[in-house]
Amino acid sequence: MSRNAKINTLLLALVAALAVLPLALGLGDHKEEPFAGADAEAETAITEIEPDYEPWFSPLYEPPSGEIESALFALQAALGAGVLAYYFGVRRGRRQGEERAAARAGSGSPAADADA
Amino acid sequence: MHIAEGYLPPVHAAAWGVASAPFVVHGVRALTREVRANPESTLLLGASGAFTFVLSALKLPSVTGSCSHPTGTGLGAILFRPPIMAVLGTITLLFQALLLAHGGLTTLGANVFSMAIVGPWAGYGTYVLLKRSGAPLMVGVFFGAFVADLSTYCVTSVQLAVAFPDPGSGIAGSLAKFGSIFAVTQIPLAVSEGLLTVLVVRLLTQSSKGDLLRLGVLTRTESKRREEAAA
């Protein structure tokens, strides 16, 4: 592995460790509902501060179940990852094309040689 | 995690909407100008928006025993400056508000203000300061993304504290409460976001040196130094 690839892998491993450690160490065990969303916790906190507060607007569309919701979140991540991968793919292809063209230009006119 | 639909009183919701609108309008102008002046930026602009899409869909567990997600706005702010992130961040927030019932339309103004305006500006400011003081590029990128992420949720905490002051301890009491929910949860996630942003910028220095040089993220001397280090 090149030095670059090693550093990149290390970065990914660190991110993975940061995500897994809270789960592995059971840091959510003290909670009634471990690893709930911070936004849901904020809603609870609001109701604690102002018990009479009623949300005055509800979402126009609400995913009918947790499964559908996670599907939509996965879709969002997939769309983003797809565009990112497309970007890096295009760039890599372009660079390789340029390198090839440069190599060809460097060795005279190999296209003509190949044809002959 | 954004403020949920209907969870800001109407006056607050409207005020944050009014505060955010000019930034987004200005951002749309900056974006059109950038695309017109540098059509070759479009692809990287798309990639920056895509990064925000991925990161804000990733709900990750944190040390507080709850979950939140990064924002992904630091990258675009560093590459294209904050006004453009006001637009890309708003698009992401709209997608989540309309399809995922995450965040909301009435709280869109407040969420745009934290994630698409303050976050990118704070992150960009940190990045520029570090770079000017001679820090290596990747140190600037890491802390830029870290600050963009964390400041977003500090603003969210302030927004909720102002809207819901504690009857006993006032705004300060509420701020401690919302801060412990949002900001503390966010610290390890902001570290993750910093690391991922460094990873993407590293990949960009390998694949899109031209773009980075044009955007002023890389200077010629820096680019050369990195090449020599990699060789």
Does the beta carbon of B202 lie under 8 angstroms from any beta carbon of chain A? yes
A110: closest CA of chain B, how far (Å): 27
DSSP string, chain A: --HHHHHHHHHHHHHHHHHHHHHHTTTTTTSSSTTEEHHHHHHHHHHHH-TT---S---SS--SSHHHHHHHHHHHHHHHHHHHHHHHHHHHHHHHHHHHHHHHHHTS-HHHHHH-
Q: Is the pLDDT of residue A26 over 80?
A: yes
pLDDT computed for residue B226 by the predictor:
79
Instruction: Find the length of chain A.
Output: 116
| pLDDT tens profile A42-70 | 999 999 999 999 999 999 888 999 899 99
* pLDDT above 70 for A72: yes
**Contacts for A38-42 with beta carbons within 8 Å, 24 or more apart?**
A38/B1, A38/B66, A38/B67, A38/B68, A38/B181, A38/B182, A38/B185, A38/B186, A39/B1, A39/B2, A39/B3, A39/B4, A39/B102, A40/B4, A41/B66, A41/B181, A42/B1, A42/B3, A42/B4, A42/B7, A42/B160, A42/B178, A42/B181, A42/B182
Look at residue B182 and tell me if it is in a domain: yes
Note whether residue B193 is domain-resident.
Answer: yes
Q: Which residue of B has its CA nearest to A65?
A: B100
The answer to whether position B111 is within a domain reads: yes
Closest CA in chain B for residue A26: B65
* Residues sharing a CB contact under 8 Å with residue B46, sequence separation 6 or more, in sequence order: A83, A87
- B78 CB neighbour count, 10 Å cutoff: 28
Q: What is the pLDDT of residue A87?
A: 96
Which residues constitute the domain of residue B165? 10-230
What is the crossing angle of helices B73-80 and B119-132, to 10°? 60
| Domains contained in chain B, number | 1
pLDDT of residue A108: 63
Whole-number pLDDT of residue A116: 46
| A6 inside 8 A of chain B by CB | no
For residue A109, name the pLDDT band (cuts at 50, 70, 90): low
Residue B3 within a domain: no
In this structure, the number of other CB atoms found within 10 A of the CB of residue B17 comes to 19
* Contact assessment for residue B34 and residue B51, using Cβ atoms and an 8 Å cutoff: no
Question: B68 and A8 in contact by Cβ < 8 A?
Answer: no
| Cβ-based neighbours of A63, under 8 Å, separated by 6 or more | A69, A71, A72, B99, B100, B101
Task: Mention every residue, 6+ apart, whose C-beta is less than 8 A from residue A66.
Answer: none
| Residue-range domain boundaries for chain A | 1-57, 62-116
How would you class A89 by CB atoms within 10 Å of its CB: exposed for 0-12, middle for 13-18, buried for 19 or more?
exposed
CATH code of B82's domain:
1.10.1760.20
User: B residues 87-116 near A, CB within 8 Å?
Assistant: 95-102, 104-106
Instruction: Tell me, yes or no, whether B1 lies in a domain.
Output: no
Q: Using DSSP, state whether B142 is helix, strand or coil.
A: helix
d(CA B93, CA B116): 9
Residue found under tokens 């705004």: B171
Residues of chain B where predicted confidence (pLDDT) is lower than 70: 230-231
A110 touches B: beta carbon within 8 Å: no
pLDDT at B57: 93
> Out of A11, A29, A72, whose CB is closest to B195?
A11
Do the chains contact at A82 and B1, CB–CB below 8 Å?
no
Amino acid at B154: C
Q: Which of A19, A33, A49, A116 is nearest to B188 (CA)?
A: A19
Task: Write down the pLDDT at residue B132.
Answer: 94
List strand residue ranges (DSSP E) for chain B, in order.
60-61, 66-68
Task: Tell me how close the Cα of A113 comes to any Cα of chain B, in angstroms.
Answer: 31
